[in-house]
Amino acid sequence: MALSTPTTKQPRPQRIIVVDDDAPVSNLFKKELTALGYNVEVASNGEEGLQLAQRQKPNLMILDLIMPKLGGRELLEKLRAGKTTFSIPVMIVSHLDSNIEREKCAELGVECFIVKHKSSVADIINQARTILQRR
């Protein structure tokens, strides 16, 4: 009788959705985060991001703010109002460098607000990892 090999249950990779209309930026984040073992989906506008979030219930979303169709803050408001999406952790990674915007996003419970061009890719990826490790 053949012995069955013990199976170790692999944890399901954590899911991240990147919502950014700049393809080079979203592709970069996808590549870096996928290499770390995360399951990453990309959306190029807020509407697409909302649909993905409702379907996938990700462990983290990385949102740009200025996007066509639905901007990042409007998407964030819809996430917080949704029965299945209200508690999704959100990182804002945008070029907008505005204290008003930062405060509005903080009121909506974002994990962090990063000004893209003041940060390195490593800073942004490390921040995402830190948030996911806390969960």
Partner 1 sequence: MPHVLIFEDDQLLQPMYQQKFSRAKFVVTVKSDATDAVAVAEKVKPDIILMDLIMPKVDGFDATRALMSDRRTSAIPVLIVSNLSDPATIQKALWYGAKDIVVKADLTPEQLVQKTRDVLAGKPSEHVLNPQLIEVLHIDAQGRPQTTS
Instruction: Give alpha helix (H) positions in 7-120.
Output: 23-35, 46-56, 72-81, 99-107
Q: Which amino acid, 127?
A: Q
Closer residue to partner 1, CB minimum distance, 61 or 96? 96
Q: State the nearest-atom distance from the C-beta of 65 to partner 1, in Å.
A: 8
Q: Is 121 in the site for partner 1 (CB under 8 A)?
A: yes
Nearest to 18 by CA among 133, 134, 121: 121
Structure tokens at 39: 């399951």
Paired with 57 in beta bridges are none
DSSP 20-50: -S-HHHHHHHHHHHHHTT-EEEEESSHHHHH
- Cα–Cα distance for residue pair 107/125, rounded to 1 Å: 23
Closer residue to partner 1, CB minimum distance, 121 or 130? 121
The footprint of partner 1 on residues 34-53 (CB under 8 A) is none
The footprint of partner 1 on residues 61-100 (CB under 8 A) is 65-66, 68, 95-98
Q: Is 106 in the site for partner 1 (CB under 8 A)?
A: no
Closer residue to partner 1, CB minimum distance, 54 or 101? 101
User: Which string of x and - marks every residue 16-35 that binds partner 1 (by CB under 8 A)?
Assistant: -----xxxxx-xx---x---
The binding site for partner 1 (CB under 8 A) comprises 21-25, 27-28, 32, 65-66, 68, 95-98, 101, 115-123
